[in-house]
Amino acid sequence: MRDVLAFVALMVAGALSSLGFEPLVLWPLTFLAVAFLLDRLARAQTLREAFGAGWLFAVGHFLVGLTWIATAFTYQANMPASFGVGAVVLLSLYLALFPAISGAVAWRVYRGRAQSIGFVLLFAALWIATEWFRGVLFTGFAWDPLGTVWLGLPLIAQLGSWIGVYGLSGVLIITAGALWLMVRRQWRPAIGVAVALGGIALIFLAVPRTSISQGIPVRIVQPNVGQGEKYDALQIVRHERIYARLSRTPTTHPRLFLWPEDATLRFLELEPDAREALGSLLGPRDVLLTGGESVTVDAQGNAQDYHNSVFALDSRGRLLARYDKAHLVPFGEYLPLRAFLEPIGLSRLVPGEGDFSRGPGPRTFAVPGFGSVGVQVCYEIVFSGHVVDRAHRPAFLFNPSNDAWFGAWGPPQHFGQARMRAIEEGVPVVRATPTGISGVIGPRGEVVGTLPPGREGVLDIVVPPADAPTVFARLGLWMSGLFALGLAAAGVLLARHPGMRVAE
């Protein structure tokens, strides 16, 4: 019975830890829950027990944090909605392995003497490493790193401009560890962490950051077209009229019009009349960036490759640029192991024939009259260190998305991660989605303006200037890695220091 209660307590703590993310932003619960996990790890008697504690905590964490995924399956006619629940459970069981490994390795190094700041530092380093690893293994699932919780404390979140969101995850572990040690009457570590965080906040308050570009006037269009009606053939014409009505509203000066992911269902490169129709909505010096599908065909007109793309068009219907999404969603935009999974009834969630093909990665292109724009389509924005073409830094990142799939929790979590990319790179991020949340994020993660979810409308706004490149923008994930190595080195050295051995 005691073991059962311990298991339940760990899963409940993990579930509470996920409430620090959007939309609830109950960040104190995250710190308390992680402190509880550290205590359970330190009290483990065996490596297996330590691994199990980390795994149970993480299962609870992901089960609650990823509930929005199940909503996507309710829009897929070829698969029962119950598959969505199974997908959340299986994904949570898998993702929980990474925190479990962190806890097990830290416990092994500090076996029998884990009640110390050294144990906390080593666990923080391992958490950074395994969190990065889950973001790359099997194409990666980098959704909501723990450091995203710091958006609830914006001054500390600015540290992401140095060490990235993975480094911020380590800082959260250390802060929670300081709380834990304070309860155990180890005052020095707690005071040290408090002073360090206060110093960081003062630095970001005192040190100015330099803008290096001009503001760009944009119009974000949010049609409020739900996923259940998006591909309904009887409503496509109505949707086109909504986009046209929202885009035709007079403007007094040139604007960059921004439409969501897959806003047009026509193949613009193959249909000149579709391009002309879109161009007719624009003023002489306006430009439209819109999501849509692109397809390459052979000499016989047979489709070869499909891409989830973003097109830039001018008022004459000319294609100025095209970006192809590089980081595709498994089971969403392509079906892994199709030969095995398709016969048992699985298919990709996005309607269409075949799988999407990958694009070449982050690209920046010039938009006449508006400067340089980088594009990250939907899910791509969650991958720290992989959103900007570092050789050609953009004035802002455009993140067209379709969050209509993901219920109430998915869109605000997605928006929060876009805020973290802005902090890391020092560039604004602009999001356009069919149902919200659309908006503009400044280069320090501040929300400049939004269109609320579930509402049709436009947002005429000036995208603020980009800041000078941050440390993270220059060095990328190397900074997260160096921070983790420093913590790991300190943790291992302290494990060998007799003065840090604190009896239980």
- Closest residue by Cα to residue 371 from 307, 321, 326: 321
Number of other CB atoms surrounding residue 295 within 10 Å: 17
d(CA 394, CA 385): 15
> Tokens 């509470």 belong to which residue?
16
> Tokens 């439409």 belong to which residue?
259
pLDDT at 261: 94
Number of other CB atoms surrounding residue 476 within 10 Å: 18
List the Cα angle 95/97/100 in 5-degree steps: 130
Spatial contact of 289 and 256, defined as CB atoms under 8 Å apart: yes
- Closest residue by Cα to residue 464 from 396, 389, 387, 365: 396
Whole-angstrom Cα Rg for the chain: 24
Q: Which two tokens stand for residue 8?
A: 């339940």
Q: Could you read off the pLDDT tens digit of each residue along the chain, which spans 504 residues?
A: 567 788 899 999 999 999 999 999 999 999 999 999 999 999 999 999 999 999 999 999 999 999 998 887 776 655 666 777 888 999 999 999 999 999 999 999 988 676 788 899 999 999 999 999 999 998 889 999 999 999 999 999 999 999 999 999 999 999 999 999 988 877 777 787 777 777 877 777 767 766 666 789 999 999 998 877 777 777 888 988 999 999 987 667 889 999 999 999 889 998 999 999 999 999 999 999 999 999 887 766 676 788 999 999 999 999 999 999 998 887 766 666 555 555 455 555 566 656 788 999 999 999 999 999 999 999 999 999 999 999 999 999 999 999 888 888 999 999 999 999 999 999 999 999 999 899 999 999 999 999 999 999 999 999 999 999 999 999 999 999 999 999 999 888 887 764 544 433
pTM of the model: 0.93
Residue 390 exposed, middle or buried by CB count within 10 Å (0-12, 13-18, 19+): middle
d(CA 137, CA 338): 19
pLDDT at 92: 96
pLDDT at 4: 77
d(CA 72, CA 460): 30
pLDDT at 478: 96
Domain positions in the chain? 2-208+477-500, 216-467
Q: Which two tokens stand for residue 279?
A: 């161009």
Catalytic residues: 261, 325, 378
Q: Is 394 left (phi over 0), alpha (psi -120 to 50) or beta?
A: beta
| Virtual torsion, Cα 291, 245, 286, 466, nearest 10 deg | -60
Following DSSP, what letter does each residue of 345-372 receive, concatenated?
Answer: T---SS-SSSPBPP--S--EEEETTTEE
d(CA 430, CA 283): 21
Helix/strand/coil for 307? strand
Strands 371-375 and 364-367, by their bridges, are antiparallel
User: Who's near 346: CB < 8 A, 6+ residues apart?
Assistant: 79, 83, 331, 335
Distances from the Cα of 435 to the Cα of 223, 432, 438, angstroms: 7, 9, 8
CATH class label, 216-467: alpha beta
Following DSSP, what letter does each residue of 100-156 receive, concatenated?
Answer: HHHHHHHHHHTTT---SHHHHHHHHHHHHHHHHHHTTGGG----S-GGGGGGGSHHH
Strands 216-222 and 447-451, by their bridges, are unpaired
- Closest residue by Cα to residue 258 from 462, 32, 40: 462
